[in-house]
With several copies, the nearest count.
Chain A
Amino acid sequence: MSKYFEDLAQSVIAGQQERVKELTRQALDAGTDPVEIINQGLISGMNVVGARFKVGQMFVPEVLMSARAMNGGMELVKPLLVGQELPSAGKVVLGTVKGDLHDIGKNLVGMMLESAGFTVVNLGVDAGPEKFLQAIKEHKPGVIGLSALLTTTMLSMKDTIEVLKEEGLRTEVKVIVGGAPISQDFAEEIGADGFAPDAASATDLCKKLLA
């Protein structure tokens, strides 16, 4: 069976969604425990991808393809996790701030988080303080992530944090920020809980904040 899990992990690493689906289906047909498929096959492959990305052996588009491939397998396994709910690593609400239509970075973070076992609620672009407020009330996430690419829109991150304070929700949720013009300094200035320079570190950051 270990050879099979190796094949599955390799297909995730290679970003071959169709192959991942096929192998997952075969395994399920053979009666393999869904949790094992996830842990020893899908997530095991994604861990390799993460490690390779960090040392510069794999690049963003490849990580994305791997995440997609993994999610392809996940979709098949999830419905079968009867009773044994897959333990979520946590819930994260993501959004690009008001006035900003750039979402490639945020979506990347979303895919990375999902492939690391987080539940992600994606608010899309142009998300003002009210939209985040509503999402927190509705989804009760552990973390909200604000993204901005423009220096003209990054200031609205502070507005959102202020609104959370006013509503008495600031201590209920961790706030992380990211995007081209954002830095650790800026995160501290506006009173965010964390900053991630890239999608891979965003995952690590969420894990740390929710530990």
Chain B
Amino acid sequence: MTKSQYVRANYQVNATPQFHVLSEHQCENIYYGALEALERTGAEVHSRTALEIFRQGGCRVDGNRVRFPTRLVERAVSSTPSRVVISDRHGHRSMFLEGSNVYYGPGPTNTYTLDPFTGERRRPKKSDTVRAGIVCDALPNIAYAMDNGTPMDVTPTLADVHAFQALLENTVKPIIHWGFGIEQYQDIVEMAAAVAGGLAELQRNPFIVLYSESSPPLRHSEEAIDKAIFAAKTDIPVIYTPCTFAGGVAPATMAGSLVISVADFLVGLVAGQLVREGASFIMGGLISTMDMSSSILSYGATELSLLSAGLTDVARHMKIPMFSTGGCSDSKVIDVQTGIEAAFSILIAGLSGASIVHDCNYMEYGATGSLELMVMDDEIIGMVKRILEGIEVDDEHLAVDVIDAVGPGGHFLGEMHTMAHFRDFWAPTLINRLRYDGWKAEGSKTMGQRIREKTQNIINTHKPEKLPDEVLRQIQTVVDRAEAREAAKKISK
């Protein structure tokens, strides 16, 4: 039985929980702060290519110092696509970076890895990147792959190329990848094109995103900005991500840090848009505080969540997809601290509606990558996704008829209505809700033990889809050629 026919006036619905750190006016104010910093202070740029692009584009260039007229920056922002669609390895469009869609995944280039079999903290090897690919491929809530550590058992200057090969061959998911410089980026794009069936196909349905990190305040190395320019030229989406830590390379105030972060992103964006109007850019910003005792850039700080959510609000104001941070920790092992920091940051990043939330594997302020943390984060992301689904309120969900049918003192377990809806409850895979005796019967395992078992199980049993032999050969050819190039450089040195 439904209610009598009715219409409603002014009825509002929260399809999801509502969360904003900044109002539209505050976002605007931060954006204007960044425009003012760029016009007044400008940025130091250490790339001849970029300086020339800026000069020709109408910036005021004085030596390495570039000052950006507001109209130029505004033009760049308005020519940036408000959405970027990333495909999987098959070219199926899978990540829609638009609006407030949220996708989670790991981060790159850790110098240590926590071995999920021995517990040892050690240098990453290429076989660890293979494992990273497998685990990313297997976890349902991880949307893309990133390397989880720089492999150190390969030619050092080609660690990026080898890591990419390992990911490419072990996951069908989209890959976000870094590079030392342009040469390596060319190798990486060529490998990806071999998989996609040509560069044009890769450009049409990109399944890779390039990644470049700049060093605030207002300073851009040759490598950082040239990589952004390369991506724009090559027509591959790129994340330009300043690494901003409040009190260190940015003001100690949250708003001031946001100004630096936005301004530094805009420097990369302007370069890219001058090279190719409409180039796909994703706004990065690793943004947190500098711990004033240890001087680390904290990956567990509450301000990381607060600042990242604020930056996401500004990105949405600018209508540019956002690359945010979460699921990370300053802890050295998987422990209670890891759980607190990871859960907090995943929840806030999710509520903020950031397009991509990366670093769901970062331990020890980013020095160590951990697949176990990624497995734990996968569970937390599942919980957060349920929260983001909100509460539906309509006749079916109000269930007044069912309440009447069951009556006082009855139960709802046997109702068709229950059958239709109980699977909306989030069902845990790692979180343990057994009765004490049941838990004891299963070996009294802690969360840490269960995480480790699941991680090992994935690595031992998950078989990612193989690439065709011919494609594998083409990829290997690119790697071999890169090796020859680096060997030749060494000799000439």
Contacts and interface: CB of A to CB of B under 8 A. Distances in A.
A206 B290 CA distance: 24
A154 B111 contact: yes
B317 interface: no
B215 A102 contact: yes
Contacts of B156: 155
Given A126-B46, A183-B437, A198-B435, A108 B295 contact: yes
B366 A180 contact: yes
B111 A64 contact: no
B247 interface: yes
Contact of B290 (A15, A56, A60, A195): A60
Contacts of B414: 61, 64-65, 68
Contact of A65 (B112, B220, B292, B419): B419
A151 B112 CA distance: 11
A184 interface: yes
B293 A56 contact: yes
Contacts of A126: 46, 221
Nearest to B296: A180
A150 B422 contact: no
Contacts of B2: none
Contacts of B222: 99
What is the size category of the interface that chain B forms with chain A? 35 or more
B235 interface: no
Interface string A139-174: 000000000011110110000000000000000000
B413 A181 contact: no
B128 interface: no
B434 A197 contact: yes
A4 interface: no
A60 B295 contact: yes
B436 interface: yes
Contact of A104 (B110, B178, B411): B411
Contact of B419 (A15, A150, A184): A15
B474 to A, nearest CB: 26
Contacts of B111: 151, 154, 181, 183, 186
Contacts of A60: 247, 290, 292-293, 295, 413
A65 B222 CA distance: 33
A173 B408 CA distance: 34
B290 A149 contact: no
A4 B370 CA distance: 52
A183 B413 contact: no
A100 interface: yes
Given A151-B150, A155-B156, A107 B411 contact: yes
Contacts of A22: none
B343 to A, nearest CB: 23
A164 to B, nearest CB: 16
Contacts of A149: 215, 243
A75 interface: no
Given A64-B413, A65-B419, A180-B366, A152 B109 contact: yes
A198 B112 CA distance: 19
B264 to A, nearest CB: 12
B221 A101 contact: yes
A181 B293 contact: no
A68 B293 CA distance: 18
Given A101-B219, A181-B367, 17 more contacts: A53-B293, A56-B293, A60-B247, A64-B413, A99-B222, A99-B223, A100-B221, A101-B409, A149-B243, A151-B111, A151-B150, A155-B156, A155-B157, A183-B435, A185-B123, A197-B294, A201-B438
Interface of B: 46, 109-112, 123, 150, 156-157, 178, 180, 213, 215, 219-223, 243, 247-249, 252, 290, 292-297, 365-367, 409, 411, 413-416, 418-419, 422-423, 427, 434-438
| Nearest 9 Cβ contacts at the A-B interface | A59-B292, A197-B435, A104-B411, A151-B109, A101-B215, A60-B292, A181-B111, A61-B418, A64-B414
18 contacts: A15-B419, A53-B293, A60-B293, A61-B418, A61-B419, A61-B422, A64-B413, A64-B414, A99-B222, A100-B221, A101-B46, A101-B215, A104-B411, A180-B297, A180-B365, A180-B366, A181-B111, A197-B435
